[in-house]
C-alpha cells in the first residue's frame, strides 16, 4: 500500500520500554513468596491501568496501551518462569536464597543487614540484593564467622557473616 493512503495521525512507533531487572539466560527465576506477591500485584496494577486507557479518550491512547501491553508481556513471562523458594524450614546455619544476613564490613564496627532475593525484588535501599549479584554468590553456603572477599575495581572488600536469619 502506498504511504499516501496512511493517516499520519494513526501511525504509532513502537515505544521504548525498559527491560525488567537482568536475569541471565539459563538462570532459574527464583523468587521469595513476598516477591511473587509483588509480581502479581504489579500485574493487577498494570491491568487496571490498561482498563482505564481502554476506556479513555484517543489522545495518547495507542502509545500508552502499547507500553502497558509490553510491560504486561514481560511481567507475565517473569510470573510464569518464577520458582518460589520458601525460606521457612531452611537450615539457618548456612546462607541460602531468602536468608537475611548481618555482615560486618571490613575490620571496623560497621555492619549491614542484607536479604538475598530474586532479581525483581532486589532493592539495596531496602537491604535486598539479587541472588545473581557477586556478593550474594559469594555468601551462599557460608556460616556464621565465615569471611567473604569481594574484589572491586578500587580494591577489595571483606565481609564477615555475623548472623543468619
CATH number at residue 160: 3.10.50.30
Judge if 106 and 68 occupy the same domain. Answer: no
Helical ranges in 2-161 per DSSP H? 33-55, 61-81, 134-139
Closest CA to 105 of 66, 135, 129: 135
96 CB burial (10 A radius; 0-12, 13-18, 19+)? middle
Tell me whether residue 93 is in a domain. no
Output the nine-digit C-alpha cell for 138. 559469594
- Is residue 30 within 8 Å of residue 130, measured between CB atoms? no
20-72 pLDDT, tens per residue? 888 888 999 999 999 999 999 999 999 998 888 877 666 667 778 888 999 99
Judge if 18 and 76 occupy the same domain. Answer: yes
Query: How many structural domains comprise the chain?
Result: 2
Q: Is the pLDDT of residue 6 over 80?
A: no
74-112 pLDDT, tens per residue? 999 999 999 999 988 888 899 999 999 999 998 888 999
Structural domain range at position 38: 3-84
Tell me whether residue 91 is in a domain. no
From CA 116, how far away is CA 139, in angstroms rounded? Answer: 9
- Of 25, 55, 84, which marks where a domain is finished? 84
Tell me whether residue 90 is in a domain. no
Judge if 65 and 124 occupy the same domain. Answer: no
Judge if 9 and 36 occupy the same domain. Answer: yes
For 77, the 3-state DSSP assignment is helix
pLDDT category, 152, cuts 50, 70, 90? confident
Tell me whether residue 22 is in a domain. yes
More confident: 18 or 35: 35
Amino acid at each position: 500500500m502506498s504511504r499516501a493512503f496512511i493517516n499520519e495521525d494513526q501511525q504509532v512507533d513502537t515505544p521504548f520500554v525498559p527491560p525488567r531487572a537482568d536475569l541471565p539466560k539459563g538462570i532459574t527465576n527464583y523468587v521469595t513468596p513476598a516477591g511473587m506477591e509483588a509480581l502479581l500485584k504489579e500485574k493487577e496494577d498494570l491491568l487496571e491501568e490498561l482498563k482505564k486507557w481502554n476506556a479513555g479518550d484517543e489522545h495518547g491512547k495507542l502509545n500508552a496501551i502499547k507500553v502497558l501491553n509490553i510491560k504486561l508481556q514481560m511481567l507475565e513471562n517473569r510470573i510464569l518462569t518464577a520458582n518460589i523458594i520458601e525460606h521457612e524450614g531452611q537450615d539457618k546455619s548456612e546462607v541460602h536464597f531468602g536468608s537475611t544476613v548481618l555482615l560486618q564490613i571490613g575490620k571496623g564496627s560497621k555492619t549491614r543487614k542484607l536479604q538475598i532475593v530474586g532479581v525483581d525484588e532486589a532493592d539495596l535501599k531496602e537491604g535486598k540484593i539479587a541472588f545473581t549479584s557477586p556478593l550474594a554468590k559469594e555468601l551462599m553456603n557460608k556460616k556464621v564467622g565465615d569471611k567473604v572477599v569481594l574484589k572491586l575495581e578500587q580494591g577489595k572488600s571483606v565481609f564477615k557473616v555475623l548472623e543468619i536469619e
